[in-house]
Amino acid sequence: MTANHQANLPTATEFQVWDKDKIREYIPHHDALKKYITINSDYEVQPSMIVLFDFSSEPIATKYKSVIFDTQAGIILTTKNSRQLFNSLSKNSTLGLKYQNKLREQLGLKRKHVFALGNYAYFSLNGFSQINTSWLALHQFSDFIQLAETEAQASTIQLNSTQYLFKFSSCAPQIQKRLHESITLNQELKQTAINFQRELGLNQTINNNLLTEEERLFKLQMANKPSLASLIKQVQNDDFEQYSFFMKSQTGMIWTKNDHQTGLSFTKRNNLMF
């Protein structure tokens, strides 16, 4: 039996299918939606997020750059754009973007579309770039279909005993393939974390949703898959080499690993997505 989850969203048939045009028409003025809508410019991306629609080029009511559907908070209007929201998520994540980029590199995946967190993952419909874009929380969805070269739709898991449908235009080319690659990256990141948990004697968790479907994996041929420890070590070595080269080229100073560790201890470094 498919699990049903509750969501602070309208259940009428009229409000079960959404795209950017419908959002612009209905939000924030439709009377039946007012009790579900919240204005929150302090919103932060969290697991309860379902989808983020980007309106940064033409803000809703001239100021709201993102519209977010959230199982707990309902429909959120925020002045933050998608880059600001996901930079904040990346900066505050334990396994930040540097580690994910290193894993992506080792897996031979060139495109950057997902911020992977294991049981949670967020998928960009245009990849990481200098433009703002719409995002899906993959753990809230059961299906994703590419309709045309730059069009797609996604169906949620059971929420309020129904499935909400979200439609998107202006997606990146080959978005279905990018989804498969992104799910694969998330699976590999999750597996490295599970392997690390096993070393500590911790129990792994199981997540039954779009991220666990075997047929969606982008199959990889690798003799040896990286461990979490090796990823961390490689990122640290990369950081050291970059600083060492910079210091030598700019000052002639030989930058040792002890110097590097001391410098990092006095520096709060951002881990930004864009």
Do 163 and 249 lie in one domain? The reply is no
**Tens digit of each residue's pLDDT (9 = 90 or more) over 48-78:** 999 999 999 999 999 999 999 999 999 999 9
Q: Is residue 3 part of a domain?
A: no
Q: Is residue 82 part of a domain?
A: yes
Q: Which domain holds residue 237?
A: 228-265
Same domain, 110 and 242: no
Are 138 and 248 found together in one domain?
Answer: no
HEC string for 136-185: EEHHHEEEEEEEECCEEEEEECCECCECCEEEECCCCCCHHHHHHHHHHH
Interhelix angle 175-200/228-251, rounded to 10 degrees, is 100
Same-domain check for residues 238 and 165: no
Q: Judge contact between 70 and 53, C-beta under 8 A.
A: no
Same domain, 189 and 232: no
Q: Is 233 found in the same domain as 158?
A: no
150 and 251 in a single domain? The answer is no
pTM of the model: 0.78
Same domain, 206 and 252: no
The sign one gets for the Cα dihedral 24, 27, 28, 29 is positive
pLDDT for 189-248, tens place per residue? 888 888 877 777 666 555 677 877 777 777 777 667 777 667 777 877 887 788 777 777
Same domain, 57 and 91: yes
Task: Give the chain's domain count.
Answer: 2
Q: Which helix (H) or strand (E) holds 194?
A: helix 175-200
The per-residue pLDDT for 270 is: 47
Contacts of 88 (CB under 8 A, 6+ apart): 44, 45
Looking at residue 230, the DSSP 8-state letter turns out to be: H
Question: Domain check: are 109 and 180 in the same one?
Answer: yes
Same domain assignment for residues 170 and 104: yes
Pair (170, 249) in one structural domain: no
Does 274 map to a domain?
A: no
| 221 located within any domain | no
Does residue 223 form part of some domain? Answer: no
For the residues 91-112, what does the mean pLDDT come to?
A: 82
